Amino acid sequence: MDFGITPADLRAGLIFYLLLFSCLVLRAYSQAWLADRLGDPTPRDEGRVTLYPLPHLDLLGSVILPLICIFFLQPRLGQINFFLAWTNPVPINPVNFKNPQRHYLFTQLGGCGMSVVLALLSAVVGGISFHYDQRFAEIFGTLIGINAMLIVLDMLPVPPLPGAMLLRHWGFMSEERFWQVARWSGLVFMIAINIPPIRTALGILIALVALPFGWLFEVIAR
C-alpha cells in the first residue's frame, strides 16, 4: 500500500521524531528532578529521575500519536507544525512538599521551563552554527518549533497535559474525570486540528511563542 511517503519524507520524519522524543524525555526528567529536589521522593522511587527514555515512554502519547501527526497529519496542515505528544505522567505526591500548592505548580511548569531553555539554547547554537553549516543549523530551527509547540500544549487544559493536571490538583476536575477524558483526548485532538479556526488559533499561538527565539536565531546568524 502506497501512503505517499518518499524515502526523503521518511528520513526527515524520523529525524523530526527523534528530536521530538529527546525533548519529551528531557522535559519529563526535569519535572521528576525538580519534584525530587523540592522534597518529594516519589519520582525517584518510581525510577523517573533518569535520562533513560523507557521509564518516560507512553505508547500512545510518545510513539503512536506523534508518528501519525508527523507522517499523516502534518502534510495536510502545510506550514503549521502541529503534533500531539506527551510522556508517561510523572508521579508526584504534593503532600511531601514544604509548600504543596506552590511547589506542585513549579513541578508542573518544569516541562515548560525545560522547553524554554531548549528553545533558547537552540537559538544560540543554531545562530552560531549558521555561519559554518546552514543545513546543520536547520536542526536547531526545528528544535525551536518543536519546543514552541510543546509550550502551547502545556497551556491547554486537556488531560493528560500539564494544564489539566493543574485543574485536577486545584479541584476543578476529579481524578476519575481526568482519566476518562485522557482516554479520548488523542482522538478529540485529531478531529479538532482539522477544524480551520482551531488550526489557525494553534498556528498563531505557536508562531507567537517561537517568535523571540527565532528572532534571536536570526540576530546571531547575521
Range 189-209 average pLDDT: 83
Q: Do the domain assignments include residue 134? A: yes
2 in a domain, yes or no?
no
Reply yes or no on whether the pLDDT at 39 is more than 90: yes
Confidence of residue 6 (pLDDT cuts 50, 70, 90): confident
Q: Rounded CA gap, 75 and 3, in Å?
A: 12
Q: Taking residues 132-140, what's their average pLDDT?
A: 93
CA 163 to chain centre: 12
Pick from 15, 221, 12, 16: which is nearest to 132 by CA? 221
Residue 199 lies in a domain: yes
Domain that holds residue 211: 7-221
Of the two residues 97 and 185, the one the predictor is more confident about is: 97
The pLDDT value given to residue 8: 81
pLDDT at 78 over 70: no
For CA atoms 35, 163, 100, 176, the dihedral sign is: negative
What CA–CA distance (Å, rounded) separates 182 from 156? 13
Inter-residue contact 48 to 111 (CB < 8 Å):
no
* The residue to which cell 519529563 is assigned: 28
Sorting pLDDT into bands at 50, 70 and 90, what band is 79? very low
Percentage with pLDDT > 90 across the chain? 52
| pLDDT (mean) for 58-69 | 88
The verdict on residue 54 lying in a domain is yes
Q: Rounded mean pLDDT of 3-16?
A: 82
Write out the three cell numbers for 186: 488523542
Nearest to 148 by CA among 213, 66, 217, 68: 213
190 located within any domain: yes
Tell me which of 95-109, 116-130, 206-220 is least confident: 95-109
- Reported as a single tens digit per residue, the pLDDT across 138-162 is 999 999 999 999 999 888 777 777 7
- The per-residue pLDDT for 10 is 85
| Position 175 in a domain | yes
CA gap 16, 78 in Å, rounded? 16
Let me know if residue 60 belongs to a domain: yes
Average pLDDT over residues 53-75: 86
The DSSP symbol for 88 reads P
Inter-residue contact 118 to 110 (CB < 8 Å):
no
pTM for this model (two decimals): 0.85
The Cα 157–Cα 70 span in angstroms is 23
Specify the number of domains making up the chain: 1
The answer to whether 189 touches 98, Cβ cutoff 8 Å, is no
In which band, very low, low, confident or very high, does the pLDDT at 211 lie, cut at 50, 70 and 90?
very high
Question: Cα–Cα distance between 44 and 165 in angstroms, integer?
Answer: 20
**For the chain, what is the mean pLDDT?**
86
Residue 35 lies in a domain: yes
Q: Of the candidates 52, 80, 89, 69, which has an alpha carbon nearest to the alpha carbon of residue 148?
A: 80
Residue with the larger pLDDT of the pair 213 and 183:
213
